[in-house]
A and B are shown apart, each in its own frame.
Chain A
């Protein structure tokens, strides 16, 4: 006898533990197979771009923290780079180097969270996630030492940093960086050869190279598909050209490759931090006469950085007043999310959760 099925619509989210925030997937199933999928977002929309138009350039910094809250330092960085580009504001060398340090630390912290949540989505209930949060905790402790907050740092300033490194920072960083490769090896041992993880994520959600490029995906999603595109080397900012590091890329573009790319990127970040630690130039961390109510010349600027999720860009238009005329964010996880439908079609419900986890979205950034 032939089984007759009819399409069936299911809402996953907005309050669902595997959607990584308030995010809804409207999925049409045939049996358990996905025939159509539509991401519905906007539940966390706070209108940050519009709010930015009513704030001074310094005050806008506090909005950038709250977009991608898992990598607030990178958001701060992209924004201050855009303002500094527009205003031609110099940055002292010590501040530049510390910016490299904190943005790489943030990358490790964010990838730890991403991998942990991804493994959680595969069904490994919280043990690996907790191991990773333990190391992430050490990094947030370091950030707390620097600027007094763990999540929304507000540490970078236009023209430098809010503070220099405290004396207790370097020993703590050294201890962390010395132990970090051991922990990354441990995760590698725990996860990379695990047959269940292979079965669940190898070949699942394959993002072909050309589709990744056409969808203007970036970050580990793009690199997992085998495209070696990393803004730190493709369009260097800060003093990344001074440092030796590799760009890990995947071969198949499946969920497993994206996970492995993140794991390898943490190793590369440790490499960068080691080099940056040895060559801290010292000296002031702030350009002296940056006004609190800064007036930028008329014009526009776009600055982008490689955030843990991809190309994060800030586009600012100034009309000569103390507020930006336009404050636009290119949010990487929002753009990476556009590939979700193509990745999920034909897979089962449980695979859709894995694919969503492997894209690593942060809803604060998707909805803004």
Chain B
């Protein structure tokens, strides 16, 4: 049996204006509270570890061009072309493009990658002068120890270039 509480019966009769004074007291208290906001471009709040953001980080060494990420993407944002690389006859990505303009940062591609090859980024300022600039190709997203800042969203093992990994179970 649901328990009920009638909200309107709690009504208190107080003289005209007293309710407003009570409210003003609350507003007055706020004068002495520290500000909750930060002046944004100068100061930035720390990002959480699992932040899902801009500029994916992708590892050529780990990626086997299995296309799982492209199939998992709800908007078909990832475009991949592959070729058989001659010396060891391995599949290699020739083109790996993510169209950030259509990406909704859902993280499904990152979660689905069986070889832990793709990571979400940690940036959020993605304004660009041209739409084409939002299509990020291999040279932009490829892992670069100096500049890449991958997020820990998927809890993939961190990137160590050159080491091949077995797929996740």
Contacts and interface: CB of A to CB of B under 8 A. Distances in A.
A127 interface: yes
A219 interface: no
B108 interface: yes
B27 A193 contact: no
B128 interface: no
A196 B21 CA distance: 11
Given A62-B74, A137-B36, A190-B26, A246 B3 contact: yes
Contacts of A332: none
Nearest to B52: A148
Interface string A169-205: 0000000000000000010011111111010000000
Interface residues of A, number: 52
Given A249-B5, A251-B8, A147 B50 contact: yes
Interface of B: 2-9, 12, 14, 16-20, 22-23, 25-27, 30, 36, 48-53, 68, 71-74, 104-108, 111-112, 120, 151, 153, 155
Which of B9, B20, B74 gathers the greatest number of chain A CB atoms within 10 Å? B74
A162 B49 CA distance: 15
B126 to A, nearest CB: 14
Count chain B CB atoms within 10 A of each CB in A58, A148, A246 and give the residue with the most: A148
Contacts of B19: 192-195, 198
A148 B9 contact: no
A166 B107 contact: no
Nearest to A252: B8
A141 B72 CA distance: 27
Given A154-B106, A190-B23, A198-B19, A144 B72 contact: no
Best-surrounded residue of B27, B108, B151 (most CB of chain A within 10 A): B108
A264 to B, nearest CB: 5
26 contacts: A58-B72, A59-B72, A137-B36, A145-B48, A147-B50, A148-B50, A148-B153, A154-B107, A163-B50, A189-B23, A193-B22, A194-B19, A194-B23, A230-B2, A246-B2, A246-B3, A246-B4, A248-B7, A250-B6, A251-B7, A251-B9, A252-B8, A260-B7, A260-B8, A261-B7, A264-B5
A55 B106 CA distance: 14
A292 interface: yes
A171 to B, nearest CB: 14
Contacts of A144: 48, 50-51
A164 to B, nearest CB: 10
Interface of A is mostly: helix
Given A147-B50, A189-B25, A195-B20, A247 B2 contact: yes
A363 B83 CA distance: 46
A37 B69 CA distance: 49
Contacts of A137: 36
Contacts of B105: 149
Contact of B14 (A134, A193, A263): A193
Interface in A25-47: none
Given A194-B22, A248-B4, 4 more contacts: A59-B72, A163-B50, A193-B12, A234-B2
Interface of A: 55, 58-63, 127, 131, 134, 137, 141, 144-149, 152, 154, 162-163, 166, 186, 189-196, 198, 228, 230, 233-234, 246-252, 256-257, 260-261, 263-264, 292-293
A195 B3 CA distance: 30
Contacts of B72: 58-59, 292
Contacts of B23: 189-191, 193-194
A154 B36 CA distance: 27
B122 to A, nearest CB: 10
A154 B8 CA distance: 38
Nearest to B112: A292
B76 to A, nearest CB: 10
Nearest to A288: B169
B50 A166 contact: yes
Contact of B2 (A63, A191, A233): A233
